[in-house]
């Protein structure tokens, strides 16, 4: 049984103006996501600025999300690291707090070999009992999980059950799905490729778009899974302009800016992420309004 089917939100981490984590605001966002039909919460992923959270902040955010959501939908904790021992530590703590699953990005900067990736993920999986979703995003990490490596891990490590595929390479995803013969939970990691990934056997998306449009993102997946492929495709295409605007600068700069434009008051970004350029803010504002989202600022 899949960890979740549908649209999971890679939720932002709201900050106070002094840069500290705004847990009260995080609680509001979690409630809005659940009310909006989101199918899972992914906490402390890339969109949550995990790379600039301290270990204490990282774990506090996971613990807060688990307690706030309180089993209403799955909470998946981002616990990946470029250090295997750090990933093990974060993963064990997330398991203690009651997370439903883990999302583990490939080791960034180190650029491990495919053999090294097998060892890395196997070692983390041995340390916990939670189901694990691998996260393949070579554009950010400089380290790609090859289809054969993912297939090996799914075959040999019992609790590695899924992959968030954000390589953008549909041919590579097709090869992966031919190798695993249905023995993997495939999630799109790119909002502009939800329908293509679903067509190859995917069961959902881990989404940035869901931060600003949870109901619509849920419907893209739900329509496809219910058999209404035409409606799903239409909804996907209607969202493309906004999706492009949400990635016109590096994530999560635009999505945090968008939420602030919507009056959500999620606060600033942590350096080295910087405020969005004025021309891009205007593009984002127009895309939000064109998608039917009210801009208050």
135 classed as catalytic: yes
164 classed as catalytic: yes
Radius of gyration of the chain (CA): 18
Out of 25, 63, 68, 164, which one is annotated catalytic?
164
pLDDT at residue 79, as a whole number: 98
Out of 121, 135, 187, 224, which one is annotated catalytic?
135
Domain spans, the chain: 6-228
Q: How many Cβ atoms sit within 10 Å of the Cβ of residue 5?
A: 17
Task: Identify the sign of the CA torsion 75, 211, 223, 221.
Answer: negative
Alpha helix (H) residue ranges in the chain: 23-35, 55-69, 84-97, 114-127, 138-141, 147-156, 170-180, 194-199, 214-225, 229-238, 240-246, 253-261, 278-290
Q: pLDDT category, 180, cuts 50, 70, 90?
A: very high
Whose tokens are 């090859």? That residue is: 146
Is the whole model's pTM more than 0.95, yes or no? yes
Digit-coded pLDDT (tens) for 240-252: 999 999 999 999 9
The listed CATH number (2.40.50.100, 3.40.462.40, 3.20.20.70, 3.30.420.40) that belongs to domain 6-228: 3.20.20.70
Q: Give the C-alpha distances (Å, rounded to integers) separating 192 from 241, 246, 263.
A: 10, 11, 25
Closest CA to 123 of 100, 162, 147, 153: 153
Q: Which percentage of the chain shows pLDDT scores above 90?
A: 97
pLDDT at residue 297, as a whole number: 73
Whose tokens are 């270990």? That residue is: 55
Rounded CA-CA distance 288/242 in Å is 6
Q: pLDDT category, 1, cuts 50, 70, 90?
A: low
Q: pLDDT category, 222, cuts 50, 70, 90?
A: very high
């Amino acid at each position: 049984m899949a960890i979740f089917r549908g649209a999971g939100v890679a939720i932002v981490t709201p900050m106070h103006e002094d840069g500290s984590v705004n847990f009260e605001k995080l609680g509001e966002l979690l409630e809005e996501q659940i009310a909006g039909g989101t199918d899972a919460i992914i906490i402390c992923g890339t969109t949550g600025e995990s790379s600039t959270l301290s270990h204490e902040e990282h774990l506090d955010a996971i613990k807060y999300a688990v307690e706030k959501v309180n089993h209403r939908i799955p909470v998946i904790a981002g616990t990946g690291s470029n250090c295997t021992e750090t990933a093990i530590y974060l993963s064990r703590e997330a398991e203690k707090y009651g997370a439903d699953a883990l999302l583990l990005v490939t080791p960034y900067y180190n650029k491990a070999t495919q053999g090294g990736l097998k060892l890395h993920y196997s070692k983390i999986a041995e340390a916990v009992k939670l189901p694990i979703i691998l996260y393949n995003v070579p554009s950010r990490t400089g380290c790609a999980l090859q289809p054969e490596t993912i297939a090996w891990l799914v075959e040999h490590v019992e609790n590695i059950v899924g992959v968030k595929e954000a390589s953008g390479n549909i041919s590579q995803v097709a090869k992966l799905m031919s190798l695993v013969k249905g023995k993997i939970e495939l999630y799109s990691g790119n909002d502009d490729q939800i329908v293509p990934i679903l067509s190859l056997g995917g069961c959902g998306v881990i989404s940035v778009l869901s931060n600003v449009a949870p109901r619509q993102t849920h419907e893209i997946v739900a329509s496809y899974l219910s058999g209404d492929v035409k409606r799903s495709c239409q909804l996907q295409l209607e969202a493309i302009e906004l999706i492009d605007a949400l990635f016109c600068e590096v994530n999560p700069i635009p999505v945090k800016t968008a939420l602030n434009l919507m009056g959500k008051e999620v606060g600033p970004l942590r350096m080295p992420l910087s405020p969005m350029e004025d021309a891009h803010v205007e593009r984002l504002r127009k895309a939000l309004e064109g998608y039917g989202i009210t801009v208050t600022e």
